[in-house]
Homo-oligomer: A and B are copies of this chain.
Amino acid sequence: MRPRTAELICAGSELLSFKSNSYVPLFAARLRGLGFRLSGEHTAPDDRDAIAALAAGALKSSDLVIICGGLGPTFDDLTRQGAAKALGRRRTVSAAARRKLQDRYGSAGPLPPNLSNQCVIVEGAELVDNDNGSAFGEVLTAGGKMLVLLPGPENEWVPMFDKKLEERIRGFFRTRAGTMRTERLKLAGLWEPQAEKALEPVMRRFPGTDCTILAGPYTAEFSFTVREKTPDEAAARLRSMRTACRKALGACIYGSGEETLAGALGALLLRKRRTLALAESCTGGAAADAITEIPGSSEYFLGGITAYSNEAKLKLLGVPSRIIETHGAVSGECAAAMAEGAERAFGSDYAAAVTGIAGPGGGTAEKPVGLVYFAVSGRGMRTRVFRRNFRHSRSYVKRCSVNFILDTLRKIIQ
Contact = CB atoms under 8 A, between A and B. Distances in A.
Interface of A: 12-22, 24-25, 28-29, 32, 38-46, 50, 54, 57, 72-76, 114, 131-132, 153, 155, 159, 182, 184, 192-193, 196, 200, 210-215, 221, 223, 225, 278, 280, 282-289, 291-293, 295-298, 301-309, 311-312, 315-316, 345-347, 358-361, 392-396, 398
Contact of A13 (B73, B210, B316): B210
A289 B225 CA distance: 36
A16 B211 CA distance: 13
Contacts of A282: 292
Contact of A21 (B20, B73, B200, B215): B20
B284 A308 contact: no
A18 B221 CA distance: 10
B306 A14 contact: no
B285 A289 contact: yes
B295 A284 contact: no
What 10 pairs across the A-B complex have the smallest Cβ distances? A284-B292, A285-B288, A285-B285, A41-B43, A286-B289, A303-B308, A303-B312, A304-B306, A285-B289, A18-B212
A196 to B, nearest CB: 5
Contact of A196 (B12, B74, B395): B74
A24 B16 contact: yes
A41 to B, nearest CB: 4
B215 A292 contact: no
A297 B285 CA distance: 13
A345 to B, nearest CB: 6
B309 A13 contact: no
A123 B287 CA distance: 44
A337 to B, nearest CB: 16
A211 B293 CA distance: 34
A216 B76 CA distance: 16
A45 B213 CA distance: 13
A303 B306 contact: yes
A40 to B, nearest CB: 6
Contacts of A284: 288-289, 291-293, 297, 301
Contacts of A32: 17
Contacts of A72: 192, 215
A153 B215 contact: yes
A39 B16 contact: yes
Nearest to A47: B39
Given A18-B184, A39-B16, A212-B46, A394 B295 contact: yes
Given A292-B284, A309-B302, A24 B43 contact: yes
A295 B285 CA distance: 15
A404 B158 CA distance: 25
29 contacts: A12-B214, A13-B210, A15-B24, A16-B41, A17-B225, A18-B212, A18-B213, A20-B24, A21-B21, A39-B45, A40-B42, A42-B43, A75-B196, A75-B200, A76-B211, A114-B193, A155-B393, A155-B395, A159-B393, A282-B292, A283-B289, A285-B292, A288-B289, A292-B306, A293-B394, A303-B306, A303-B308, A303-B309, A315-B345
